[in-house]
Structure 1
Amino acid sequence: MFLAVAEGGTVRAAADALGVNHATIIRGIGRLEERLETKLFDKPSTGYRLTDAGADVVDLARQMSKASSQLEARIFGRDQSVSGPLRLTLPVSFATDLLMPTLATFRAAYPDIALEIIGSGAVANLGNREADIALRVVVGDKSPPDNLYGTRLGAFHTGYYVHRSLLEDGAPAAAWLLGADEMAPSGWQPGAGLQMAATPIRFAEMRSQFEAARAGMGITHLPCFLGDADPDLIRVPGVPIAHVGDIWLLTHADTRQTKRVRLLCDHIRGVMRGLAGKLAGQSEKGDVEIA
């Protein structure tokens, strides 16, 4: 709790990070200050600010937190039961559009495993048990960190997609459908008679971009497995798909032998190998030229 407040700056941020009530945080900090017989935070109206004493112990508290996580991971690694919690983190689109039937099958086979599915683009810290298994796209030719045990499952490709109707004569201008910080690609112009709007449309997350493309609003950048699966979308003619990186299934060295970790990893590996063609953009839609 002390670290969560020190790093978040407010009780509310700490409560959200730890998934507890803010009153629990206040009581916990109070007990710690009482036990240490010192004041760790000043409490102005704008938030909690570390006192000199609090600042002195932050690094030690981080070391204690890391050691506690390592202890938990080491014990978890000895667990050979097929019940208990299991956290999987993966990109949102992988969860919602690719692997949910697979995860449903796993759940049906092992109902006593309390599976937690964390759909997120953020990189979870497996050493701190933020997740037990991570399915990640590792960009470029990079390899996962040395403290993680990984299996490369195949290449990941993306492409530019547009609704078929926007390729017809007399179709309205197509807007670039972009993420919040995404830039429109330079160096090429859409062919096949596509007319481009002067201004883009921006979105906070990819799912909305995908739905906007399906609604005929313009061109967006999508994983090939997602764009190719929709009958209303087509790859922008003349624009090759791109190899973004490779898909890795990762576990921590301390927890990879836990039985339920091994069971889910084996399950995902088998399914993902069967999906390798889709992930690599090998589809009857357009060509498979790679940038």
Structure 2
Amino acid sequence: MAMEALRAVQILNPSGEVTMPRPDRPRIMCVANQKGGVGKTTTTVNLAVALALHGNRVLVVDLDPQGNASTGLNVPHHAGISDVYDCLIDNVPLAEVAQQVEGIPNLWCVPATIDLAGAEIELVSVVARESRLARAIAGHPEPFDYVFIDCPPSLGLLTVNALVAAREVLIPIQCEYYALEGLNQLINNINLVRQHLNPNLDVSTIILTMYDRRTRLADAVEQDVRNHFGDKVLQTVIPRNVRVSEAPSYGQSVMTYDPGSRGATSYFEAALEIAERGVDKVAGHNA
């Protein structure tokens, strides 16, 4: 119990004393995997909250018409609310649409409403359709340390907009059979976007989710992914954890729902690893 309480204080950071390194320039990360149910939204929400609770200014862009990231951050996204659709189709400034996340001072969210379902088709005839999101993010007057873009589980124009806007791709991989299936398609699309639309794009981070230590399969998948992607794979793995699954139904991240849980600790450690890698990488570029 005492350990849990200690972890909870470290994660919620009420004094603001514990900080994660801030990058020298905004890190725009597209969270993508066209397989559904691998933990994209859960990963987006929890990493964003962890970084925001530890001194970083963070924006979450919900690009999935289901609006699950908006739900997980308890941001209103019913019909009639200004959302990311308005930015993409009608050029409404991102700053007018971004909502402050309640209870987390450094975190904002651009919600998705059901209107976004039609955007895929409407974007087809729009000028510079692939770079609408990039332009909207670049036009935001306040700089962010991190921008996380939560993609739909498909490789259509919304995901292409995310890949053009981002500098980094973060891929959550579920530790299940067929984990690597379909990834080739995603990597091919990322390479196409890099060649034609965004030469700065880099698959920087792979995170293993829904890890069940009791199974040999999880271990085998982990080894497979580490052999395939090397040091892009975070050392921290996210366990299967009932608290992580419960949190969104309360409009919360696992960080605030049960900060002493294994799920919260794992996402905190993953966020710290991402923050430290970002600083190392920038230092490496500058060296």
* More RCO (CA 8 Å, sep 6+): 2
Of Structure 1 and Structure 2, which has the larger fraction of its residues in helix?
Answer: 2
**Larger Rg over CA atoms:** 1
TM bracket, shorter-chain basis: under 0.3
The TM-score normalised by the length of structure 1 is 0.23
Of Structure 1 and Structure 2, which has the larger fraction of its residues in strand?
Answer: 1
The TM-score normalised by the length of structure 2 is 0.23
